[in-house]
């Protein structure tokens, strides 16, 4: 129960952090709110929404169920946007250090909004649906991101906010088997494929992707059809509802960043160990080098290196290491900070991520994290902490 409480506390803390700008506003509800309540979910504030942090089975069981069968997540609090028009891809490239122009139809790509100092404003997903791009942004940054796109892209393409759609994620090794019962064509999709799929007679935008490290799908569905689809998926014996608590522990085990914690406006993608996300055509020797906010800073970081880097961390004790804990070296000198931390149910051990001086970023480097005034031994570790199981065909 202590481990479960750790995850639970982390999510509550993150929810408060992400809800700061909405503190005086009533909590918004997703189209699945009534379903969550009927299933016995514990609802908490998260990024301005009332969201399920866990169901009666508890976070540990939800986590394990997703790793072994299939979990259904409500992520309808995230922002969904169409960018429509022949110049949409070229326009979006002015805001992200990513190759959008050459993104094949039917594929999705991870991207980052950067600012003028090379920091990350948000991370997002971009899918090419042929006559339009489908963009999904984080809930806490939704208003900012939509305004950013409207300000900078509206002159070249239509920015269409999809307020009338919900977003579900079906994740886990049984996800493909379950969803293929409703639409056989999804079984042929591979990681990061995107497709318009008919589910229960409704047109849905489906990608084979997710935020757990497991195989799975994200499904954009009309809001008024979301509960029917969720209930249908939950009727399959492999599927259980999963809350934000397990979503956080799953993504942490998978070594995936949480915006506002592992990524922020003062940290570049290079410092964040996201060099892989910076497309080669947008780098210094690429066909369309630069041309996005903070390009000079980011390209300089690629060329010259950085003083700190995001790394995985494994505490060498059962003590969880939380976000904000200082990282020190053998001499007691502060050399970094923890940005995400908690219990990894699959590993049955604590895991964390954070930033350390680049000279100390090598896997196996022994350090300590300060927990309640006492040093806890930790070690720099490679991520993901558990193998990612994306289906690549």
Domain of residue 246, CATH code: 3.30.1360.120
Which of 309, 308, 310, 339 is closest to 324 using CA atoms? Answer: 339
Q: What is the pLDDT of residue 362?
A: 98
Asked whether residue 127 is assigned to any structural domain, the reply reads: no
Q: What is the pLDDT of residue 8?
A: 45
The count of domains in the chain is 2
Domain boundary, last residue among 254, 288, 319:
254
Q: What is the pLDDT of residue 1?
A: 31
The Cα–Cα gap between 126 and 192 comes to 10
Quote the pTM value. 0.94
Asked whether residue 19 is assigned to any structural domain, the reply reads: yes
| Whether residues 244 and 319 fall in one domain | no
Give the model confidence (pLDDT) of 319-334 as tens digits: 999 999 999 999 999 9
| Whether residues 35 and 184 fall in one domain | yes
Asked whether residue 281 is assigned to any structural domain, the reply reads: no
| Whether residues 180 and 247 fall in one domain | yes
| Whether residues 226 and 346 fall in one domain | no
Q: What is the pLDDT of residue 3?
A: 39
Give the model confidence (pLDDT) of 237-265 as tens digits: 999 999 999 999 999 999 999 999 999 99
- Measured CA to CA in angstroms, residue 393 lies from 66, 97, 128, 179, 390 at distances of 21, 28, 20, 17, 9
Residue pair 385/352 in contact (Cβ under 8 Å)? The answer is no
Query: Half-sphere exposure of 329 toward its Cβ, with a 13 Å CA cutoff?
Result: 11
Residue pair 285/299 in contact (Cβ under 8 Å)? The answer is no
Domain boundary, last residue among 237, 254, 271:
254
| Whether residues 232 and 312 fall in one domain | no
Chain centre distance of CA 354: 16
Asked whether residue 388 is assigned to any structural domain, the reply reads: yes
Q: What 8-state DSSP symbol labels residue 94?
A: T
Asked whether residue 133 is assigned to any structural domain, the reply reads: no
For 180, the domain range is 10-73+165-254
Asked whether residue 203 is assigned to any structural domain, the reply reads: yes
Pairing of strands 49-54, 28-29: parallel
Asked whether residue 198 is assigned to any structural domain, the reply reads: yes
| Whether residues 236 and 355 fall in one domain | no
Domain boundary, last residue among 220, 235, 254:
254
| Whether residues 233 and 337 fall in one domain | no
Q: What is the pLDDT of residue 182?
A: 98
| Whether residues 171 and 315 fall in one domain | no
- H, E, C per residue of 213-263: CCCEEEEEEEHHHHHHHHHHHHCCCCEEECCHHHHHHHHHHCCCCCECCCE
Q: What is the pLDDT of residue 13?
A: 53
Asked whether residue 344 is assigned to any structural domain, the reply reads: yes
Q: Which residues of the chain have pLDDT under 50?
A: 1-9, 16-22
| Whether residues 169 and 248 fall in one domain | yes
Give burial (CB, 10 Å; 0-12/13-18/19+) of 244.
Answer: buried
- Cα angle 227-219-109, degrees, rounded to a multiple of 5: 160
| Whether residues 60 and 171 fall in one domain | yes
Question: At how many degrees (to 10) do helices 244-253 and 2-19 cross?
Answer: 100
Q: What is the pLDDT of residue 10?
A: 55
Residue 93 tokens read as 């490239």
The Cα–Cα gap between 293 and 278 comes to 13
CATH number at residue 329: 2.40.30.110
Q: Is 218 annotated as a binding residue?
A: yes
In DSSP notation, 283-340 reads STTSTT---STTHHHHHHHHHH--SEEEEEEEESSSS---TT-EEE-TTS-EEEEEEE
């Amino acid at each position: 129960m202590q481990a479960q409480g750790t995850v639970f506390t982390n999510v509550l803390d993150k929810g408060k952090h992400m809800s700061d700008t909405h503190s005086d506003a009533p909590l918004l509800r997703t189209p699945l709110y009534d379903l969550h309540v009927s299933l016995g979910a514990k609802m908490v504030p998260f990024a301005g929404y009332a969201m399920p942090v866990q169901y009666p089975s508890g976070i540990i069981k939800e986590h394990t169920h997703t790793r072994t069968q299939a979990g259904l997540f409500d992520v309808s609090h995230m922002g969904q946007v169409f960018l429509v028009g022949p110049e949409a891809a070229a326009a979006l490239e002015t805001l992200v250090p990513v190759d959008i122009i050459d993104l094949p139809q039917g594929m999705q790509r991870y991207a980052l909004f950067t600012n003028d100092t090379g920091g990350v404003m948000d991370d997002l997903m971009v899918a090419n649906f042929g006559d339009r791009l489908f963009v999904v942004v984080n809930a806490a940054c939704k208003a900012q991101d939509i305004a950013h796109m409207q300000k900078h892209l509206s002159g070249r393409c239509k920015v269409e906010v999809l307020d009338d759609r919900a977003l579900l994620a079906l994740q886990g090794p049984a996800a493909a088997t379950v969803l293929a019962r409703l639409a056989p064509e999804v079984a042929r999709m591979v990681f990061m494929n995107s497709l318009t799929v008919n589910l229960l007679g409704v047109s849905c935008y489906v990608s084979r992707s997710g935020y757990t490290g497991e195989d799975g799908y994200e499904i954009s569905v009309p809001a008024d059809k979301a509960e029917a689809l969720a209930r249908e998926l939950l009727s399959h014996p492999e599927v259980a509802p999963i809350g934000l608590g397990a979503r956080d522990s799953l993504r942490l085990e998978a070594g995936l960043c949480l915006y506002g914690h592992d990524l922020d406006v003062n940290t570049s993608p290079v410092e964040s160990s996201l060099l892989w996300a910076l497309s080669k055509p947008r780098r210094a020797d690429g066909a369309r080098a630069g041309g996005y906010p903070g390009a000079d800073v980011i390209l300089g970081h690629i060329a010259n290196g950085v003083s700190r880097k995001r790394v995985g961390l494994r505490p060498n004790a059962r003590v969880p290491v939380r976000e904000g804990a200082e990282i020190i070296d053998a001499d007691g000198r502060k050399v970094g900070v923890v940005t995400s931390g908690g219990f990894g149910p699959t590993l049955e051990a604590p895991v964390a991520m954070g930033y350390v001086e680049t000279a100390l970023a090598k896997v196996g480097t022994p350090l300590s994290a300060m927990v309640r005034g006492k040093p806890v031994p930790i070690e720099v570790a490679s991520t993901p902490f558990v193998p990612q199981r994306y289906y690549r065909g």
